[in-house]
Chains A and B, each alone.
Chain A
């Protein structure tokens, strides 16, 4: 049973436009959500997070939106740049030291 779902395996966006990556979750106990970026053969790097008490968090070109009623979050990247091409993982936590639950990732391709 997949508790964190990223239904788009890949997404292609033109350079300079907005990239929107989506994530859905099923576990109501999740109270903290994170986005990670991963290049091939490297470990994921933390991008941005949001607590369940908020509905938006912004950091430079990256904004994460959380819709708790729909159990949905999204990552917006504006403007998209070539270096943004990577796999993006959505992750969720219910607190405690038992790790994060990850989605399968979305491969974002920024086209020139």
Chain B
């Protein structure tokens, strides 16, 4: 069966510090991978998606970036965090056929 992992589960970082969140998927090959953010009182906002290694599409211009160094690994990064980057970050995957996406447990990021 397929599983998706995210770490860390929670993170508190000062403004201006770097960020690296990691997501890995097991039990499937060549998944589409996604990063979403849920800010307080808001829905889920798509940040990045990837259809393959090294292929990243950005939905929202911001100070975040994403990379996919391996087939089942997706990384969300920032060189300098802003207060507005606080939120709940979710990684998701699908295989592109049936549209359902499956989400990881999420990372709660608080920028202070």
Contacts and interface: CB of A to CB of B under 8 A. Distances in A.
Contacts of A85: none
How many residues of A sit at the interface, in one of the four size bands?
Answer: 20 to 34
B100 A97 contact: no
B62 to A, nearest CB: 16
B66 interface: no
B65 interface: no
A41 B106 contact: yes
Contacts, number: 61
Contacts of A103: 43
Contact of B108 (A34, A41, A93): A41
B99 A44 contact: no
Contact of A104 (B42, B99, B106): B42
B51 interface: yes
